[in-house]
Structure 1
Amino acid sequence: MADGCALDTEKYSLLEDFNVDVEVEKQEFETFSLCFWVYLLDSTTYPSTIIRQVHSDMSFSAPFLVLDENKKMILLPLTLLHKEAPDPVNTASWTEVPNVSTTAEFPLQRWVHVGCEVSRNYMRLYICGKKVGEKVLTSVMTNGTNSDNVRRVSLFSVGGDGYSVQGFIHCAQVLPSTVHVNNHYTKDPPLWLSVEKPSTCEVDEDGVWSIVGEKASCGMIFSLDVVLSNAIGQPVRKDVQVVASLLYANSGTPVEKTSDLEAPLLVSYDGVEFSAEDKPCTLLNGCASLKLKISQHYSKCDKRLFCIKFEIPNNGSYPFLEAFTNQMRCISRTGGDSVTPKRLSPLVEGVPSRNGASDSSLSMKRIKLGEEKIPESEFEGGNGTSMEWGPQNQDEEEEEEEEEEEDQSSTDSDNTEVRGSMGSRRYTISDSTIFKYCLGNLTERSLIMKEITNNAGDEEVSEFADQVSLYSGCSHHGYQIKMARKLIAEGTNAWILISRNYQNVHWDNVVIEIEEHFMRIANCSSRSLTHQVLLSFPYIKSFDLVFDDATLRREIVAQDFELLRRICGCYDYITQENFEKMWCWLFPVATSISRGLINGMWRSCSPKWIEGFVTKEEAEHSLQSQEPGTFILRFPTSRSWPHPDAGSLVVTYVGRDFVIRHRLLAVDHICDSSERYTDAKPLQDMLLAEPELSRLGR
C-alpha cells in the first residue's frame, strides 16, 4: 500500500494501556475534562471498572468510571477533590456514593465518545457530545490551598476487574476548563469500516440475507457497498485497499478453495473475475461498490450460511477496521419446487366502518407502523384514524419488501381466468411481466418500469399498479408504479439541465438545481435545502432561522447535502448514474412531503416535526440518554424507488426499556395536498396518542 493510502493507527491503543495524570491544584485544571473514544469488545463482562483513580495518599486505587450490572456507565467522585468519593477499601460503598449514570445500556462493538467533566463542586458525564447527567458535590479543598504544593491524581485502566474489560481507546486527553467536551468530540473521531446491505437480497426474519440468483449454475452475483467513515458518520476521503474473504457463518473460519475449483469468492473488474483474496479492492475517497460472486460450487449449498469479511490489510488487527456482512444464504429461483402465484382477494376500495358501510374517505387516514404488507383483514372494524405498532422484534431498517416466490414459470395462459375480469386494453401488459415485477429485485423492477412507461399510457400504468398490488399483497407497490412516469421524466429533464451534455458535473453546480426541483415537487417554499454551514456539530441537522414573520423560512444545514452526496456515491463530481441513485431517493420523499398529511408537518417551524435528511445512526445518536417515549420522524435512507416504502416516514423512538427502536410509518392512500382533511385527525395527534410515543425529540 502506498504511503499516501496508509492509515494512521498510532492513536489507537489497548484500553488496558490507558494512563493519564492530572494536577488538580493547578488553576487551569480546577475544572478539567477527561475525554476519549472507547471501543469495547463483546467479550466484556459486567459489572466492571473501566478507569480507576489513585494518588499519593492512597494505599489502594478506587473506581472512577465503571459499568454496572445493567451495562450502564457510572461516573464516581474524585477522591482527591470530593468528600463523597468512594472508600478504596470498602467496596460496598462504591454503589452507595453519589454518582452520574447513563440511562441506556452502554453499546459494545462500536466507537463511543466519553467525556468526564470534573470540578471541585460538581461532575458531569457526556456521551457522544451530549450531557447525560450532573451531580453537585462537596469539595475537600479550601480556597487557601498553596498552589506550590501540586497534587496529582492518576487515572488508569488495567483492563477492568480481572481484565474483564477488553477494548481500544483513541485520542485520550485531559482538557482544561477553557476547552469544551464537544471540541474533542468533533476534532479527531476514530475510523470505522462498514458494509451496507445489498439491494438485491431479501432479509429473513432471523436477519439472514438471502442472495437470490437466476440459477445456481452461474453462481450468486451481487453488489456490496463498503464505506470507510469516522465514528460520527462523516466519510473519510482516503484511498485505501480492502480484502474480501468468504467465511462460514457458524464458525467464522475461511472457506478454503478445494482441488481445482475456482476460488470461493470472486470480485469482478470490467467483466473479468478475480479471486477476492488475491485482488484487493480500492476504496476511492473512502467508499466503493464491489461486484462479488459466490462461486457455483458453494452457492449450491442452499442450507449453508456464509458471511463476507472485509479488512484493511497491513494495519494491524483492529476490529473497527474490519467489517462483516450478516449471515448469507444462497437461493436459486429455479432450484426449488414450482410455485404458482395464488390469487389474492380484491383490493379494498373503501374502508368498512363499524356499522359495515363502506367509506372511501376513510382510506386516506389509515396509518400503520412497523409492517409493510397490509392484509385486507386489518381493515375490518377499523375507524380509519387508528395507528398500529408492528412486532417489537422487527427493525424498520432490517425489513425488505416481501418474501420472494421461487418460481417464475407461470405463463399468460395459466392466469387468463384470473385476469379475465379486467377487460380489454389498448396496450397489454402480460401476466409474466406482472409476476416478474412482483418477484424481481429493485434493479429489475426499475428496468421494467422504464420499459412500460415508454410504451404504455397512464391508464395502462395505473392498471398495472393495481395488478401488482393485487398479486403481491402490498398496495404500496402501486404508489411507486404510479409515480414512475413523473419520476423518470422529471429526473431526465433535471439531469439535462444540470449536465449540459457533460458526463461529469461538479457537485457545487448540482446543488442549486436539486434545491429548486425539491422545493417545487414538495410544494413547499418555506423550507429549503441549502449548503450554508451554520453549525459545527455534525449530528445537529437543522436550525431555525426567522427571515420574516410571513414565511418563518427554515434552512437545513450542509449535512443534508452531504447525505444526498453519500446516497449518490460521489464526491467532487457527479455522473448521471450517481444522479439517478440520488433522484430515486429524493423524488419519493419530495412527493410524500407534497401531500396533505405530511406537508404541514414539514413546514412546521416550531415544533420541528420532521427531522428530514438524517441517517439511522444520527437519529439514534440524537436520542441517546433521552427519556422513554421521546421520538423523531425521519425519511429512511435505505428506501429508494421502486422500493414499496420509498418516501415513507420512520418513527425513531426510545422504548420503555431505553432501547432505541425504529418503526415504519406507512400512510396509506394519501390524497393530493389540494384535498381537504376536514374529518381527519392531524397526524401529529395520532402519533402522540400512541402509548409508546409521548414527546417530540429536539
Structure 2
Amino acid sequence: MPLSGFFVSRLLNLPSHYAAGLILVGCCPGGTASNIVTYIARGNVALSVLMTAASTLSAVVMTPLLTAKLAGQYVAVDAIGLLMSTLQVVLLPVVVGAFMNQYLKGVVKFVSPFMPPFAVATVAILCGNAIAQSSSAILMSGQQVVLAAVLLHISGFFFGYVLSRTLGIDVSSSRTISIEVGMQNSVLGVVLATQHFGNPLTAVPCAVSSVCHSILGNIINEKDDFNGIFSLCFWLYYPHPFPSTILHQHTSDITSATPFLELNVNKELVLYPIRAVPQGATVTNDVARTKNEVPFNKWVHIGCEVTTDFMRLYMNGVIVGETRVTCTADSLRKIYLIGANEYDSIYLHGVEILPIMSSIKYFYVKDPPVQLHFDATSATDVEVDGDGVWTVLGGKAPSRRNFSLTVVLKDAFARSVNKEMELVATLTYADNGAHVEKLDNAEAPLLTCKDGVEFASWDKPTRLISGHASFRLWISKLSSQCDNRLFRIKFNVFKMGRRYPFLEAFSRPIRCILPNLVPNPRTSTLIWKRSTSAIHTFNGPSWLNGGTMEPINNVVHESKLTPLSKRIKLGQANPVVNVKPDNVLKQPDVVRHEDGRLNGRTLDGKQEPHERACNLVTSASEKDVMNFAEQVAQFSGCHHHRNIIRISKRMIEDGTKVWNSLSQNFDHVWWDKMILVLRDQFIKISCCRNRFLVHQDFEVLRRIGGFQEKVIQENFEKMWCWLYPVAFALSQNGLNEMWDTRWIEGFVTKEEAESSLHGLGGTLVDPGTFTLRFPTSRSWPHPDAGNLIITYVGSDFAIHHRLLSLDFFHSSGGKSLKDMLLEESELSRLGRITSRSVRLV
C-alpha cells in the first residue's frame, strides 16, 4: 500500500500536499473496520484480527519510516515526531486498554456499551473537521483526490486477493487478506497529518480515504455475498436412540420439508444433499453418513459443510462422512433450515453459520456445553452387594444410616466448570424413573441435613462449589409398595421450569434395607471396621478395628459371618455401632473451639465432603487442626480419625505447591514431566531411600488419578490425596524399614494381590501365605487412607483381606510389625508379588 500510494500520486500528478497525504494513508496499518467487513463477507475473521493486530503493532516503527522515505520526496517529514505521535495514538491506547481490562474490570464493563458510538462520533468529527478546514480547495480539486483514494484502495483489494490466490491460499482467506490490505486506518492518517504537516490539505486524502474504503468494502461484500459454500456447526445432545430428523431443509420452490440432517435406525447421522438441483440434473441418493454410532446422553459436536460439489459431515472436529453432490450457488441461496420440533427432545447448543471448513475445527473447542455427572468414586458409607447394587440402611431415626454422594458439573471435554448453580436430590424408582411419593403424615422419602436439622431433600438445595456438590442423605421409612424395589438418587437443578436431561444425574441402583436385616447395634460394644473388599469383619478388640488401644495377644481376628459380611464397602461404615454413654450422645452436633469457632464435624465420626474438609484445614492454624483431631477422636471414640486430620493441612499445602510448580498457570501437565517430581516428593515425605518408585507404581498412581498422558488439576488432586497419606505412613518408625523388595513391594492393586496368590496351575498357594498392600480405594479424607491391608490365603483355602489399624501398632510398646504379623496363627509365610505368581520367602 505505501508503494501504491506513491505510484498513484505519480500517475495522477497530485500536488505535493495531496501526494504526501495519500502516501501517509498507504503507510497506516489496517483499520478495525476491516474485521467487521470480513465477518459480513464470510471471511476468516480470526485471520483478519491477527493481521490487524500485527500491522498495528508494526506501524509504530514502519509508518514513520515509510512515510519519511516516500513522502519526503514531496514535503518535509519529521520522522521523530511521527514516531512519537504514532506511539501515543497506537501503542498507548492498547496498553491502557489491556491494563484496564486486567485490573479495572468493573470500569470496563460500565464504559464498554458507550465506546462504539463514541468511537464513531470521534471518527466523524476528525474526518469532518479535516474536510471542513479545506472545503474550498476540495471543491476545486475534489474529483482528483477522490479518484486517487479510490485507485489506492482498489489496488490494495486487487493485489491482496490475486497474490493470495497465486500462493495457493483458499478463497475465504484470500478474501480476508484482500480486505485487510485494501482497508487502512485512515483516522490515524488524519491525526498524523494534522499534527506534523503544515498544510491542512495533507489531511484531506486521509479523510476521503476513510469514506472510500468503507464504500468499496461494502461493494465487495455485496458482490461476493454468497459463493455457494456454507458451513454449519453445533453441539448436539441426544437423550434417546430413537430415529428422528434434527434439521429440515425448506426452499421457496418446495412446499413440504425434506430431511437435511437426521439420525437413522442404525444410530448413524445422515447428511442429505440439497434437493433444489438445476434443471435436467439427476437427483442423487448419495448421502454423507457417520461410520460409527452416535453416542447418547452426552454432548457431541456436529459440523456440516455444503458446497456446490460436495458435502462433509464432521463429528468432534473430525470428518466422518463425505459425498459428491451436484448443486448451484443459486439453489443454495434459496435454502433455509428448520430445527426439530420440541417434542423430539433434541438439544442444540452454540449453533454457528461459518464461512470456511477450518472454522468447524475452531468452533469445536469454543464454548463447550456443560453436563451434570454423578461421581461414583466419591460415594461413602455405601455398600455393594454381589449383584453390583448399592445398599444403604434406611428406616426411622436413629436406626437409619446416612451416606454421602457427589455430583460434578463438567464441560464436554470433562473439565470441571465453576457456575452459580443449586442442586437438589430426590429418590426415584430405578425401573421407571418415577419419584417416590411422600405418604401422608410421614417423612419425606429422602432426607438431607443442614446445620444439624433434617429436611426433605427437595427443599434444601446444595450449591455447586468449584463445579462439585456433595450431598449427605438418609432414606426414611418407605411404604410397603416400595418393598423389593430398587431406587436411584436423581440430582437436578433447583427450581428449573423446563427439564433438561443434561442437567440431571442419577446414582447407581440402590437397595434400601431395614434395620432388622442387620445385627442389633446394642448387642456389642465393639466397632467393626471393614476393608476395601470387606470379605471379613472382626469380632474382638484388635489393632485392626480402630476401637480399643489396649494391648492384646493376637493382632488378627476372624469374625463370624453376618448378613452384611458379603458386601463390599465403598465408604466408612460401622455395621455394628459402638455404644457410647448417654452423656456423649448428648454433646452438641459440632465441636466448638474456645474462641467460639465451629469446626463443622459431626459427632458420629462420619467424614464431611472433600470440599468442606479442605476449607476447614486451609483456613485453620496448625494448632487448631491438631486440637480438632483430638476432639474428633475423643467425641467419636474413633482414634484412627486423628492421624488423617493431623496431616491434612500439610498435605494440602504441599500438594498446592507441587501443582503450581508443575503447571506454571497452565490447566494441565504432561504425565512424563510429573513422574520425577512425584518420585522426589515421595522420598521427601516418606524418608524411604531403600526403594524408589518404579514403573508399576506410577501405573497404579495413573489409575488412581484417572488420566492418561495429560493430567489436569482434578486428576492430580485425586492422586495426591492417595499418595500423601501412604508416604506419611511409611515415614513412621516400624513401617519405614518394611518398604523394600521383601515386605511391601510397592503399590499393588487388589486384583494383582489376589492373582499373585495363585500358583502356576491357577490353584491357591499354601494357607498362611500373605502379602501387604495399601488399599487403592482409600484416599484422604477417609480415615483408612495410608493404612495397610493383608491379603492372605486362609485355612479355608479362600483369599481374605484384612485392614490393619496402624494406631494400635504404634502403641504396642516397641514390638515390630514384622513380629506381630508372623505371630498370627493365620499368617505364616510372606509371599512376593511377581508378574505371574507369589514366590515364598
What TM-score bracket applies, with the shorter chain setting the length? 0.3 to 0.5
The structure richer in helix per residue is: 2
Rg: which structure is higher?
2
Length-normalised TM-score, structure 2: 0.41
Q: Higher RCO, 1 or 2 (CA under 8 Å, sep at least 6)?
A: 1
TM-score with structure 1 setting the length: 0.48
Question: Which has the larger share of strand?
Answer: 1
